[in-house]
Structure 1
Amino acid sequence: MTAAGVAETACFLHGGGRVTILKPLRQPVRCTMAETVEFRCPHCNQLYRLGREQLARYSGKTINCRKCHQPFTFTEAPAPQVPSEPHEQAFTSMTPTPQVPVHESAPGAPPSMPTVGEPPPEQTPAPVETAAPRRPAAGGTTLGDVLTFRYMITPVAIQVIFWIGVAVSLITAITLISQGRIIHGVVTIIFGPVLVRIYCEILIVIFRVYDALREIRDELRQR
C-alpha cells in the first residue's frame, strides 16, 4: 500500500498483526502479500499472480491459459501450492493482451494458437507442368513426315482450296454476266467467296480439334 502525499512510506507486519510506519523512503514499497493471490492453471500448472482488482474482474469467468491455451474457470479460492517451478520460469501477468484475449467462452473451445510440438501442416507439392509437344518446323519437314502423317498438310491445303474457290466464283460470275444474266453474276460474286470461306473454316475447325486431341494423347503417354 502507498500513502498519497509528498513522502512515500513503507510498511511491514509484526507477529501481533500491527502495522508499523517507518521513516519516509525515496522509493515506494508495496505490501504484495495481502494484495495479490496466486493460483495455477489446472492443465499445465502455470503459476499466475492476480491483484485484488483483477480478482473481482475475472472471478467466475472462463479464461484461456497463456501457456497451454486451454480454457478454465477462475475462482477466488487459490489452487493448492505445488513445488516451485525452475528459476528460469517467470510469473505470467494476467493483464489482457491482444495475443491472449480474456473472454467468456464455452468449455472445450479450440485453442486460438497451435500448441507447442504440433507438426506443421503437410504441404502438397505444386504440380509440374509439362510443355506441350511442338509440331516440327516447316523447314525441317521431310517427305517421310508427310507420308506417315506426322506433319499435316491440311492448313496449307485449306488455303489453296479457298483461293481456288474464290477464283472459280469470279470466273462463273463473269461468264453469267457475259451471257446477260447480270443478277445471277452479281449474286455469284457476292455469295460465292463467302460460301467457300465458310466451308474452309469448317475444315479448319475439324483439323484443330483433331490436333488438340493428338496433343492431349501425347501428354498422357509422357506421364
Structure 2
Amino acid sequence: MGAPIYLALDFPDWNTTNQFLLKHNLTGIPVKVGMELFYREGPALIEKLKKNDHSIFLDLKLHDIPTTVKHAMRNLAQLEVDMVNVHALGGGEMVQAAKQGLMEGNVHHHTKLLAVTILTSMDQANMVQDLRLPGSLASNVIHLAKAAQQNGADGVVCSVYEANAVKDACGSSFLTVTPGIRLANAQGDDQKRIATPEYAKQHGSSVIVVGRTVTQAASPKEAYEQIKGEWKNGND
C-alpha cells in the first residue's frame, strides 16, 4: 500500500461502486466500506474488492453487548480486512470482547481494531447537549482512546484536531484514523471537524479517510492525486 489514504465508498451498491472505480482509474487504492454498501452487498463485496487489490477499512462501528460484538467480530475476522471498528462508548469490556473475537476468528491475519471516539459530525455543543458528557470534547476523546488502548484496540477514529493529543497519550504507534478530510476548496457538508490532508499529516494522523471531496469532484482521479500530493507535503 502507498499513502494511507482510504476512499470512502459511499455508494448504494456494487455496480455503482465498481463503475466509479473503473471509470476514474481508482482500482487498487485503499477503500473504506461503510454500512450502506456492506448491508446491501454483504461479505461478497469484500472479496470482490480484495481481488482488485484494494486494502479495506470495514467501517461498521459495532456497538452492542460484549458477547454479541465478540461473535460478530469472530465472523468479520474471516474477511481478513485491514481495519474494523467499534464504538468506544460501548465500554472497555465491549472493546476487549471485540479484540478477542478478531483473534479467535483468524489467528493468522492481523486485522487492526479501531475504536470510534466522538463522531466528526459532532462538536462541543452537540456532545454536551446530546451525550451529556462533561468536560471538553478533546478530553473525552483522549479518555476514550486510552480506555480503548487498555482493552486491546490498535487505534482510534478521531478528528484531526485530537490526533496529536491521542498520540501523546497513547504512543506514536497507536493508530489515529481521521475522517473529515477535505481539499481546501471543498465544502464541509455534515462533518464539522474537518481539515486538509497536509494539516492532517502535520498534526498526528496515521491514516486519513476521504469521501465526497473525491467522489463528487469534477475529476475524481485528479482530486485523489491532489490529496496524495498534499499528504506528502505534510512531511515538510
The verdict on a shared fold, with TM-score over 0.5 as the criterion, is: no
Of Structure 1 and Structure 2, the greater strand share is in 2
TM-score range (shorter-chain normalised) is under 0.3
Q: Between Structure 1 and Structure 2, which shows a larger proportion of helix residues?
A: 2
Q: Which one has the largest radius of gyration?
A: 1
Q: Provide TM-score, normalisation by structure 1.
A: 0.20
Greater RCO, CA 8 A, separation 6+: 2
